[in-house]
Copies of this chain bind each other. A is one copy, B any other.
Amino acid sequence: MLPSRITVLAGGVGGARFLSAVRAWARIHSPSTRITAIVNTGDDMWHVGLRITPDLDSIMYALAGVNDTERGWGRVGESERVSAELREWGAGWPWFTLGDLDLGAHIARSAWLREGVPLSSIVPRLTARWDLGVELLPATDDEVATWVRIDDPEASAAGEPVERTVHFQEWWTRYRAKVVTHGFERRGLAGSSPAAGVLDAIENADVVLLAPSNPVVSIGTILDIPGIHAALQATPAPVVGVSPIIGGAVVRGMADACLEVIGVPTSAAAVARLLGARGGAVDAVAGTAHPAREAGAQGVLDAWLVDEVDADAVAGLEAEGIRSAAVPLWLRDEPTGVQLVSDALALATS
């Protein structure tokens, strides 16, 4: 039976591509299927007085068809006239560009937040302009942020390493993760709660899919918002993940760099073990401040899709209680995307 509701946990650009595939699958096979995305907000930040929500925006723009597919991020036809002015005044980070079209969303969002409107009510205001075919929910309305403990490269160049804690955006966009990195901190996590609709979307889904997004800072942050991990363990829906790692390398983004920081191998099987089998223990990861993945915690996965090149991981994962299959994971175009979603749904119900 075709699912009437699919809920997807997703990060930014990788999540956007996967959600486009889910939407394409639904348009072909099951137009009435409701698709809900629970989107990572752990990369969000205030910057020059504006609230930036990179993953929500990446998904919104991609589903709206206004994303820049060539550059890989932001709006198509973007310009940077405002950012050039800000740079003249030394306002903001010189290595962090706010596109002009993008700033429209940032300014509107920030103004509404300051009026007291929660992010989960702002997202539908922003998306209403387009027919996305996917309902976007921020994982939380609370401000949760990933910070990274690094050796400051400039300060450390002179002699003894100087530790500094930077926002995830600085680690990734400024340093490209190419600095000595000691670990992640998740600020605001303990006091956060799922946004309106999030738990319902998990509890009342027919299937929950984990997009091939960063398992540490995207999927990981969503899981660690108090209540979400437990909801995934409790939902009657099967939970199926898609590996973000193919043949020991990341498909896109920064999963490899993040896995390295927490000491997890860059492999499809290791990521599955990090998420853990539902009812089974997860691989403990020391010092990650990931409450859902501390020693003794239980996993969330019923099933896991790896790429064909990782077929030899299937037997081991199955033995550990994670139903697995090796299928083509590369999202080359719409047909490969639709096929991947069909494969994920088949594994969910097998």
Contact = CB atoms under 8 A, between A and B. Distances in A.
Interface string A125-157: 110010000000000000000000000000000
A104 B126 contact: no
Contact of A108 (B48, B100, B111, B129): B48
Contact of A81 (B81, B84, B89, B110): B81
A86 interface: yes
22 contacts: A48-B111, A49-B107, A49-B111, A79-B79, A81-B81, A81-B101, A82-B103, A83-B104, A85-B100, A85-B101, A85-B103, A85-B104, A85-B105, A85-B108, A86-B108, A89-B105, A89-B108, A89-B129, A92-B111, A100-B100, A103-B103, A103-B107
A112 interface: yes
A81 B102 CA distance: 10
A101 B125 CA distance: 26
Interface string A295-318: 000000000000000000000000
A249 interface: no
Nearest to A113: B49
Interface in A68-90: 79, 81-86, 88-90
Contacts of A108: 48, 85-86, 89, 91-92
A229 to B, nearest CB: 34
B88 A104 contact: yes
A89 B110 contact: no
Contact of A86 (B48, B84, B104): B104
A114 interface: yes
A40 to B, nearest CB: 23
